[in-house]
Chain A
């Protein structure tokens, strides 16, 4: 029983509220709590909900209770702020409750479409699997399943199926080519990493994708997998080991690889990109990786682009405010997702930056949608898009 996993952590939370704010600057840390204000939406409230469910006082059959559990972007900011010994297990508790809900058949309709699509087409958007590599059709990039390459570029579901974001993987490929990297893609054979399934409580589907991913890349003899998707990256690095999947190849986020290529002189830029920018740290590239959080590489890359001026938001690095899209919130509670993103856009605008730069397609998608919804006047880019302009 999944709830057994929780017992160790049920009584750790004193409901002291430290998780609600970023320590020392006391700006909000929890998107759901800040949006809804009821204690049940904050991390401390969710820990008490877990206690109530395990002790039989509360019931996962209650739609409103599940709404509270699904109104969590999994950003882990609460874990960053919490001062108690259970602090690294808060989202684990939320995820276990979601898994228990799935086990009990208390399903969230918003996710059923996603899961059906995963089962049928290996992606979370209900798109035909055959169209997965369309973004790269005219690039002349090798397909790793057909010819041997050193590095495979993993686009991930969102970058594969959202034409408005295709400039991100296309920029990444252009940069890899410019640096002389022997890279290929998986094309239609690429599949979802399964990370989203894990976060919304479908552990079985997740395990299936983890095993598939390992088998595929191992059989192709690829030494390095590069991805622009921070969700995917943290899934490979962080979640696969949780189900006993050990990578036999190196996994890099594109921004780490860019940093490496710039540092060792393989990638050189010739053009200036005059732009004042601020950098949004994606949760999956930061807090989700614990002490291995990728905070400095993107900043080094931006510093290496002529004309780019980087200004920091008040909440940055480990304390960054979430974009709002994570852990299934953009599907289950789109209003919360967009509101959260807009809070970040306002913070970005307050720095005087003309553009917000990030390194995660889920963040970028949500920021673009929020800018449309709320009318915040700011440009939004993936870091690879800016870097490509400098080639």
Chain B
């Protein structure tokens, strides 16, 4: 932004939210220019923290009038540069809009504002609605519930229900042009139980990385919290075995959550649990008699007998399909809300950086993709750190290679960049689509999707955001 526009915008913002919640201080701009990845830092021109919908409307009105970019932000734990302001502008930190507006026990949903985190929702439910639960992302509790759903995150009920965007049951959206619209049943009634049977306009906003509008309220499904839970693990000696075990569990339709990780990731991760730096470099290799993979199925039951029957059924399914495969298990372990503690992102940190090529793709290409992705890690002398989560009862899989790295080590950063570039080529070849898509992967996908797709995408973006103020430079970006 040019100086005179910045001054005018800052002055207006201060009138809207008060001086205390507007900053152009270099420290603030610097902090919001980063995320965990190696995405190039870009500075916003101003940071603003609104508290109410009225303030938000005034800010968006100002930005649209002055054609100033707006970048929505909640927790800062991003992994794809999604809140790095590619073209400067207003960094809209929404953490003060953190009300849990409603929890409907009977219809099992919660309506939340953008600043509500997984931690807040968990604490609220435990205190006021102890028979209900939401899910937990594979990220710290400070992660935003709404942002996780908007970027189609995977969570610890994803085996049952798919990506987080699949369990959104209503939206309130502030369009860049100033209109406030509700989507789903909430548009015509008091309740927010479902998007259907309306035309599914939520698709104009879910997965768009904040480029089409500002979601101001979101309803998400809640679920009954079964009293009994456990987890069972299987450890195959090779990836072929891992695939067979996963397939045998998938077909039972029993688990709440089904995940797999490289054994070496678990091995080095043990140290991180006790606040020690994870020794990923030089690479930790598995020993000949050690397994290649750890597969964990999270199970719940309303009664002890139900849980026991589920454990037995999963074990039996694996035994039946995997008779010729070398593996250990099932071993019963304590149930966790995810494969790592709640502060997973912190635990995974080995130097301020965390990178991955995160994807969703077909189970039919899972084995090939995982094998080649791990071999690429070997090539770059990086510990194998594959992480997979089976989604929507096996209809697709989340797949990535976790790459904690030291941001202060330029040689390592280059190595990680090289690995990610090759892994991106690999996944695109095998049909795995990058999710929470960083801008460099968006540009690659745009080469694949075809002219008509791009035309439609850009037309939608232009219709909703004619001045291209919402997180510009990402999906639907004008050519």
**CB-CB contacts of A9-53 with B at 8 A, as 1s and 0s?**
011111111101101111100000000111110001100110010
- Residue A300 at the B interface, CB < 8 A? no
- What CA separation (Å) do A68 and B31 show in the bound complex? 13
State which of B162-170, B228-236, B345-353 sits at the interface with chain A.
Answer: B345-353
A83 at the interface (CB under 8 A from B): yes
The listed residue (B34, B343, B406) touching A18 by CB distance below 8 A is B343
Which one, A58-66, A271-279, A351-359, is touching chain B? A58-66
Q: Are B343 and A16 in contact, CB atoms less than 8 angstroms apart?
A: yes
A87 within 8 A of B: yes
B315 interface hit (Cβ, 8 Å):
no
Check if B257 is an interface residue, CB within 8 A of chain A: no
Contact pick for B346, options A27, A39, A82, CB 8 Å: A82
Q: With a CB–CB cut-off of 8 A, which chain A residues contact B31? A: 15, 39-40, 45, 48-49
Q: Is the CB of B36 within 8 A of A83?
A: no
Q: Restricting to B139-191, which residues have a CB under 8 Å from any CB of A?
A: 139-143
Chain B residues with Cβ below 8 Å from A20 are 142
**Contact-size category for B:** 35 or more
In the complex, the answer to whether B21 meets A37 with C-beta atoms within 8 Å is yes
A11 to B343, CA, bound (A): 18
Q: How many residues of A contact B (CB 8 A)?
A: 40
Choose among A48, A62, A83 the residue that contacts B343 (Cβ–Cβ < 8 A): A83
Which residues from chain A contact B61 at a C-beta distance below 8 Å?
Answer: none
Decide: A57 near B275, CB < 8 A? Known: A11-B352, A14-B346, A62-B25.
Answer: no
- Contact A15 B35, beta carbon cutoff 8 Å: yes
> Are A14 and B343 closer than 8 Å at their CB atoms?
no
Q: Do the beta carbons of B407 and A26 come within 8 Å of each other? A: no
Considering only residues 86-106 of chain B, those with a C-beta below 8 Å from chain A are 93, 95-96
Say whether B95 contacts A37, CB under 8 Å: yes
Q: Are B140 and A18 closer than 8 Å at their CB atoms? A: yes
> Is A2 interfacial (CB 8 A cutoff)?
no
The contact of B122 among A26, A38, A58, by CB within 8 Å, is A26
What is the CB-to-nearest-CB distance from A341 to chain B, in angstroms, rounded to a whole number? 19
Q: Mark B258-295, 1 if CB is under 8 A from A, else 0.
A: 00000000000000100111000000000000000000
Q: Given the complex of chains A and B, what is the CA–CA distance between A68 and B123 in angstroms?
A: 29
Residues of B337-383 whose CB lies within 8 A of A: 341-343, 345-349, 351-354
Q: How far is the CB of A50 from chain B (nearest CB, A)?
A: 10
A27 and chain B: residue at smallest CB distance: B123
Residues of A within 8 A of B139 (CB): 16
Complex partner residue of A84 from B120, B123, B275, B408, CB under 8 angstroms: B275
Inside 8 A of B440's CB, which chain A residues have their CB?
none
A16 to B297, CA, bound (A): 27
Which residues of the partner chain B approach A24 to less than 8 Å between Cβ atoms? 123, 342
Q: How far is the CB of B340 from chain A (nearest CB, A)?
A: 10
* Best-surrounded residue of A11, A52, A82 (most CB of chain B within 10 A): A11
Q: What residue of chain B has the Cβ atom nearest to residue A81's Cβ?
A: B343
> B75 — nearest CB in chain A belongs to which residue?
A17
Assuming A20-B142, A26-B119, A37-B96, is B25 touching A15 (CB within 8 A)?
no
Asked if A13 and B26 make an inter-chain contact with CB atoms under 8 angstroms apart, the answer reads no
Partner among A12, A37, A48 whose Cβ is within 8 Å of the Cβ of B349: A12
Bound CA span A23–B342, Å: 9
Taking the closest CB of chain B, its distance from the CB of A290, in whole angstroms, is: 12
B32 at the interface (CB under 8 A from A): yes
Taking the closest CB of chain B, its distance from the CB of A19, in whole angstroms, is: 9
Contact of A38 among B47, B117, B119, B277 (CB under 8 A): B47
Given contacts A23-B342, A23-B343, A62-B25, contact A84 B349 (CB under 8 A): yes
Roughly how many angstroms separate A57 CA and B276 CA in the complex, as a whole number? 29
Report B22-38 CB contacts with A as 1/0, cut-off 8 Å.
01011110111011100
Residue from B95, B123, B351 within 8 A of A26 (CB atoms): B123
In the bound complex, what is the Cα–Cα distance between A254 and B119 (angstroms)?
A: 38
Task: Write the B47-70 contact mask toward A (1 if CB under 8 angstroms, else 0).
Answer: 101000000000000000000000
Contacts of B93 in A (CB 8 A): 37-39
Interface string of B403-422 (1 = CB under 8 A from A): 00011100000000000000
In whole angstroms, what is the CA distance A306 to B76 when docked? 50
- Is there contact, CB below 8 Å, between B345 and A18? yes
- Are B123 and A39 in contact, CB atoms less than 8 angstroms apart? no
Task: List the B side residues contacting A25 at CB < 8 Å.
Answer: 123
Q: Please tell me if the beta carbons of A18 and B32 are within 8 angstroms of each other in the complex.
A: no
B358 to chain A, nearest CB (A): 16
| B451 within 8 A of partner (CB) | no
Known: A26-B122, A48-B34. A18 touches B142 (CB 8 A): yes
Cβ 8 A contact of B23, one of A7, A38, A44, A85: A38
Q: Residue B352 contacts which of A12, A36, A39 (CB distance < 8 angstroms)?
A: A12
Given A18-B142, A37-B96, A38-B49; A83-B346 close (CB under 8 Å): yes
CB distance from A327 to the nearest CB of B (A): 18
Is the Cβ of B27 less than 8 Å from the Cβ of A62?
yes
Interface residue B472 (Cβ < 8 Å from any Cβ of A): no
Closest 8 CB pairs of A and B: A17-B142, A83-B343, A83-B346, A26-B119, A11-B352, A11-B408, A16-B345, A26-B123
Known contacts A26-B122, A52-B27; can you find 4 more A-B pairs with CB under 8 A?
A11-B352, A23-B141, A26-B119, A40-B23
A-B contact pairs, 27 of them (CB 8 A): A10-B352, A11-B407, A12-B349, A14-B77, A14-B353, A14-B354, A15-B34, A15-B36, A17-B77, A17-B143, A18-B342, A18-B346, A23-B141, A23-B343, A37-B96, A39-B31, A40-B31, A52-B26, A52-B27, A58-B27, A64-B27, A65-B27, A68-B25, A68-B27, A83-B341, A83-B346, A84-B275
Give the interface of A toward B (CB within 8 A).
Answer: 7, 10-18, 20-21, 23-27, 36-40, 44-45, 48-49, 52, 57-59, 62, 64-65, 68, 82-85, 87-88
